[in-house]
Structure 1
Amino acid sequence: MENTKGISRARFLTGAAALGLAGAVLPATAAAATAREPRHRGLRHRGVVYTVGAGETPGTAWSAARMRTDLRVIRDELHADTVDVTGDGVDRLTATAAEAAERGLHVWLQPTLGDVPERDILDSIAECGRFAERLRRQGASVDFSVGCEFWLFVPGIIPGATVLERVDNLQKGNVDMARMQRRLARFTGRAAAVARSVFHGRLGYAAAQDEEFEPVDWNLFDVVGIDYYSFFPQPADHVRELRRHLRWGKPLAITEFGTCAYEGAPETAGMGWDIVDHTKEPEEIKGDPVRSERTQAAYLAGLLDVFESMGLYAAMAFEFVTPDAPHRPDDPRHDLDLASYALTKSVKDRPDDPASHWHWEPKEAFHAVAHRYGRRAGTAALGDHG
Structure 2
Amino acid sequence: MENTKGMGRAQFLAAAASAALAGALLPAGPARAAGSGRGLRHRGVVYTVGAGETPGTAFSTARMREDIRAIRDDLHADAVEVTGDGVERLTATAAEAAERGLHVWLQPTLGDVPARDVLEHLAETGRFAERLRRHGASVDLSVGCEFWLFVPGIVPGDTAVERIRNLLAGTVDPVRMQRRLDRFTARAAQTGRSVFQGRLSYAAAQDDEVDWGLFDIVGIDYYSYFRRRSDYTAELTRYLRWGKPLAITEFGTCAYEGAPETAGMGWDIVDQDKDPAEIKGDLVRSERTQAAYLVDLVDVFSAMGLYAAMAFEFVTPDAPHRPGDPRHDLDLASYAITKTIKDRPDDPASDWHWEPKEAFHALARRYATEGRCRENPWKAQLSGARTPPRK
Q: TM-score, normalised by structure 1?
A: 0.88
For residues 170-229 of structure 1, the C-alpha deviation after alignment (integer angstroms, 9 at most, x for no partner) is 12211110000000000000000011011000000000001xxx2100000000000000
Provide structure 2 residue ranges, at least 5 long, that are not aligned to the other structure. 1-32, 380-391
Secondary structure of the residue aligned to 2:309 is strand
1:358 corresponds to which residue?
Answer: 352
For residues 67-109 of structure 1, the C-alpha deviation after alignment (integer angstroms, 9 at most, x for no partner) is 0000000000000000000000000000000000000000000
The structure 2 residue matched to 1:288, chosen from 282, 293, 296, is 282
1:159 corresponds to which residue?
Answer: 156
1:244 corresponds to which residue?
Answer: 238
Provide structure 1 residue ranges, at least 5 long, that are not aligned to the other structure. 1-35
Question: How far is 1:168 from its partner?
Answer: 1.6
For residues 116-168 of structure 1, the C-alpha deviation after alignment (integer angstroms, 9 at most, x for no partner) is 00010000110011100000000000000000000111000001111111112
Give the share of equivalent positions with the same residue, in percent. Answer: 76
Q: How does 1:304-383 map to 2 (within 5 A)?
A: 304-382=298-376
Question: How far is 1:327 from its partner?
Answer: 0.2
Distance 1:347 1:372, change over 3 A: same
Question: How far is 1:37 from its partner?
Answer: 2.8
Distance 1:247 1:383, change over 3 A: closer
1:235 corresponds to which residue?
Answer: 229
Secondary structure of the residue aligned to 1:79 is coil
1:273 corresponds to which residue?
Answer: 267
1:66 corresponds to which residue?
Answer: 63
The structure 2 residue matched to 1:222, chosen from 216, 233, 240, is 216
Question: How far is 1:51 from its partner?
Answer: 0.1
State how far apart, in whole Å, the 1-side matches of 2:361 and 2:211 are. 37
CA contact (8 A) 2:34 2:307 kept: no
2:17 corresponds to which residue?
Answer: none
State how far apart, in whole Å, the 2-side matches of 1:382 and 1:308 are. 14
Question: How far is 1:47 from its partner?
Answer: 0.3
Amino acid corresponding to residue 151 of structure 1 in structure 2:
W
Question: How far is 1:38 from its partner?
Answer: 5.7
Secondary structure of the residue aligned to 1:282 is coil
Residues 1:191 and 2:188 aligned together? yes
For residues 264-290 of structure 1, the C-alpha deviation after alignment (integer angstroms, 9 at most, x for no partner) is 000111111111101111100000000
Secondary structure of the residue aligned to 2:179 is helix
CA contact (8 A) 2:103 2:139 kept: yes
State how far apart, in whole Å, the 2-side matches of 1:383 and 1:37 are. 16
Q: How does 1:95-114 map to 2 (within 5 A)?
A: 95-114=92-111
The structure 1 residue matched to 2:206, chosen from 192, 204, 209, is 209
Secondary structure of the residue aligned to 1:290 is coil
Question: How far is 1:378 from its partner?
Answer: 2.1
State how far apart, in whole Å, the 2-side matches of 1:335 and 1:38 are. 40
Higher-Rg structure is 2
The total of aligned residue pairs comes to 347
Q: TM-score, normalised by structure 2?
A: 0.87
State how far apart, in whole Å, the 1-side matches of 2:252 and 2:136 are. 31
Residues 1:43 and 2:40 aligned together? yes
For residues 341-373 of structure 1, the C-alpha deviation after alignment (integer angstroms, 9 at most, x for no partner) is 000000001111111110000000000100010
